[in-house]
Structure formats: structure tokens, C-alpha cells
Amino acid sequence: MKNILTIFGGSGNLAYLKLYPALLNLDRLDQLPDSFRILAAARSKRSNEEFRLEIKKRLQLVESDPIILDRFLERITYISLSFKDLEDYSRLKKRIDTLDSKYSIENNRIFYLATSPDFFSIITKNLSDQNMINQETGNQKIVIEKPFGTDFESAKDLNDHLLEFIHEEDIYRIDHYLGKDMIANILYLRFSNPIFSGVWSKDYIDNIQIVASEEIGIQERGRYYDDSGALRDMVQKHLLQILGTVAMEMPDNFDTHCVQKEKIQIFKSLRIYNCSEVSEHIALGQYKENKQKSFKGYREEKGIKDDSLTETFAALEVFIDHPTWKGVPFYLKTGKRLDRKAVYITIEFKKDKKAEHMINKKFQSNILQIKIQPEEGINVRFNLKKPRVEDEISSVEMDFCKSCLVDYLAPDAYEKILSGLFKNEKLLFTTWEELKHTWHFIDPIAKSCSNTKKDLLSFYTAGTKGPESSIELIKKSGRHWWPY
């Protein structure tokens, strides 16, 4: 395995915060390709030395061993270029060719587009015009960061555009949630444990809740976020990917194709709401100022319009029109500036009415909670008789905290994804078919029903649990959000 990884947007936030730390860690663990170079491409003019120094300042915070750090920095070369200017790409090509022959890379090239999505098309076109990607050789890869489109049409345009220049097998679309260890673990939890696989259907499950709550606001990403909102930014990608993994049927095996095929079946079966149904199943919110906590309101954030109606919070009741899940609601919830950072899935099982009648006592539902972050683990709640009292039942818990284990060092999602990229592990990336169906589901809510969307928006104080309307959404069915 040998590679030159060219990162467009090589001096951007994503590269500094996620890509370089992840690559450094892989280097420390000797998990980079044998011959591996990084070419950081960005617009600003600076020398190689200046760029390495800049990265060094940042990475020193995570790497105390100077030998490891210097070895990593030595792999990096910087090139300043305009993403739009074709002539700059001939310089880029020369630089790549030089590195290739110096380090015997044998033409294995990865182009990682970590730029604003506005540049995805022009970069790929310019790469193709300079013959750096083509349909023939098959030893180049294009990595496309999120977001892949803003709706079905734009996503399709981008996809068609990419396919003009490169094969589907060589396109790697990022959804970094697929690199989270507990999300990958869902398949193993479900299919290697008959105690769970035997009860994974409408016959035993009452509802499933998928929650991704964030404490942070929109940070410096106002321009992007105001056109996106929680539905596109989180639900269409990360939350639906979790839903697909939780709901898919058992695949023939864990090969990429088989797993993705089953997941696509679920995305195809998502019930699509028309505008008159949207208000019944969706609650949206936007955070407002919290003086006590010194949190700005969304509309006061940099780059946000004073009268913006963009949702920073979304809760949805989703149904899957598939025999396994007939009548089972999936509740999804996500928001910025909530009271905590946590991603978790709660599976609430049906109560056995006959047993309740026979024991003549009311008892709680069984709960399985899969904790994805910050804590990673599994929590199961079940019923037992209270000690010394014959006729009282109480709900007790069994908790497995994976991230609390001594020496537990989960790979960061980007570390896993980059390592998967070098090994062509496409299960860690999304396919066009998946994106197509998830956009079909989100578009009516985020786009076509925009008038209804305005009516759905309610305001919540930053740093709290989100709008009341999300509690109402689930309460209507006699259920409630399970806490973490």
C-alpha cells in the first residue's frame, strides 16, 4: 500500500481538527501506508516550512513525542493554489509526479475534498482536465466530504458530475458517523446475540429513539448552517444512517454490498410525508439567547440573518413501511445548544400485557440503550421483585461502559475512516443509492413544505432541552423521550 493524499482545503478547520490528528495517530500506530505523503492544497501563500510549523503548533497539544511528531510533519508538503484555476492544476500535477517518483508511490493517489461544497465540481473537473483522475487506471480515489448536495436535485447533479470523471468504486462519500465504533457495533450487537436478534421487530419493540444532542452552537459556520439547518446537517446524514443500521434486516453476510443492500431497503421504505402531514410528525426549533449562560441566540450568531427561520433543532416521528416495522414509530431528535452532548439510541420493548395481568402488577418496559458518545456502552433495564417484599416489582439496570475500561482507546471516527479509505473498506462510506433515498425523505420536510416549516418552528432557550413542541410530539402517542 502506497499513497499520496492530496487534501484540498488542507489548511481548513476540518483538516486541522480532524484529518491531521487522525493521520498522526495512524502514523504513531504504524497504520499508514508504507510509502505515504500528504500534499496540503490551500489558497493562501506560504512556504512548506511555515505550514509545517503551523501544524506542529496544533499537533503538539496531542503528541508529546517529538520523534513521532517530526516523522509525521516530514510527510507533509504544502502547495498554494486557486481551486478554480486550471493552470494551477498543472503545477499540482507536477508536484504530485515529483513526489510520486521520489517516494515510489506508483501512481496511487487520493484526492480528499475537504473544502466548501461550492468547489467540489470545479476541483473534480480540473483534476480530470489535467488527467489526474480518469475512468481508466482505477488507482485514484476521490473523497467527498459532507454535505453531498443540499437536496435530491443538487446531490444528483454532483453525483452525475463525478461519474463523468471517475468510477463509482473510486468515490468515497463521507459520513463520519459510520466511523464511530459503537455505530459499527450495532450490527454485531444485533446479529451475534440471539437475546436481541430474536426480539428485533414490531412484535416485541414498541418504539425506537435516536438522539444526537449537542452543547455547541453553530460556531464559525454561520454561512453554511443557515442554508442547511438541523434537518439537512444532521438528520439526512447521521441520524438516518443510524436508523438504517438499527432497522435493516439481517444481511447474508457482513460484506459491504450485502449490508448496504439491506440498509437501502430501509431507506426506500421510509414513509414520506406530504405537506399536510408534516406538522403532525415534525417539531422544529431555533435557540434563543441565554443571558445566564452567556449564550447568544442563533440570530445573533455571525453570518446569520436577523429574521432567519433555519431550524437548529429537529424532532421527527418516522415510520418504515416494511413488514418488520409495521406500526413502530422511530423518534429522531437532534439540536444545537442543548443541555448536553450525547448520542444514544433507546429501544423500548412492548410490555407483556398477559404477564402484567397474571402477576397483577404494573411494570416498566424493558429498555435497551446503546450509548454512542461521549460514553460508549450498553445499558439494559429489566424488572425484578424487590428484596424482602413479595409483591413489588422494580426496574433495575445492567450497565456496560465500554469507554470506561482501563486502556480503552477507541479510534476517533476520522481515524477509522481514513484507515478504511487506505484499505478500500467501502462499508465506512455512503453510496449514492442511500443518499438518494434519504434526500427523497428529507426534501418534502426541509424544502417543499417550507411554509409549513415556518409554522413548526418554535424557540428554545440556548443550553436547555429544546422546544416544548418536541415533548408534545412524542406525548401524543402516550410515550416519552428516554433520558440518557
Q: How far is the CB of 233 from ligand BG6 (least distance, A)?
A: 5
Q: How far is the CB of 379 from ligand BG6 (least distance, A)?
A: 19
Q: Which CB atom, from 96 or from 315, has the smaller least distance to ligand BG6? A: 315
By CB atoms closer than 10 A (0-12, 13-18, 19+), residue 245 is: buried
Per-residue burial over 71-106, b if 16 or more Cβ lie within 10 Å, else e, is ebbebbbbbbbebeeeebbeebeebbeebbeebebe
**Given candidates 145, 214, 301, 376, which one binds ligand BG6 under the rule CB under 6 A?**
214
Q: Please, which of residues 336-395 interact with ligand BG6 by CB under 6 A? A: 343
Residue closest to 6 by CA, chosen among 85, 84, 95, 88: 95
How many chain residues bind ligand BG6 (CB under 6 A)? 4
DSSP 18: I
Instruction: Identify whether the C-beta of residue 47 lies closer than 8 Å to the C-beta of residue 76.
Output: no
Position closest to ligand BG6 via CB:
233
Q: Which CB atom, from 63 or from 214, has the smaller least distance to ligand BG6? A: 214
Helix, strand or coil for residue 101? Answer: helix
Instruction: Identify whether the C-beta of residue 213 lies closer than 8 Å to the C-beta of residue 342.
Output: yes
Q: Which CB atom, from 233 or from 443, has the smaller least distance to ligand BG6? A: 233
Instruction: Identify whether the C-beta of residue 101 lies closer than 8 Å to the C-beta of residue 4.
Output: no
Q: How far is the CB of 456 from ligand BG6 (least distance, A)?
A: 20
- The amino acid at residue 75 is R
Q: Which residue among the candidates 238, 281, 322, 437 is catalytic per the annotation? A: 238
Residue ranges with strand state E in 128-198: 140-144, 171-174
Q: Please, which of residues 413-442 interact with ligand BG6 by CB under 6 A? A: none
Q: Which CB atom, from 140 or from 373, has the smaller least distance to ligand BG6? A: 373
Q: How far is the CB of 2 from ligand BG6 (least distance, A)?
A: 30
475, HSE (Cβ side, Cα atoms, 13 Å):
6
Q: How far is the CB of 236 from ligand BG6 (least distance, A)?
A: 10
**Given candidates 146, 381, 426, 465, which one binds ligand BG6 under the rule CB under 6 A?**
146
Q: Which CB atom, from 214 or from 415, has the smaller least distance to ligand BG6? A: 214
Residues paired with 377 in a beta bridge: 371, 401
State yes or no: residue 311 binds ligand BG6 (CB under 6 A).
no
Question: Is there a catalytic annotation at residue 357?
Answer: no
Q: How far is the CB of 338 from ligand BG6 (least distance, A)?
A: 12
State yes or no: residue 226 binds ligand BG6 (CB under 6 A).
no
Q: Which CB atom, from 233 or from 348, has the smaller least distance to ligand BG6? A: 233
Residues paired with 285 in a beta bridge: 313, 458
State yes or no: residue 233 binds ligand BG6 (CB under 6 A).
yes
By CB atoms closer than 10 A (0-12, 13-18, 19+), residue 279 is: middle
Q: Which spans of this chain sit near ligand BG6 (rule: CB under 6 A)?
A: 146, 214, 233, 343
Active site residues: 238
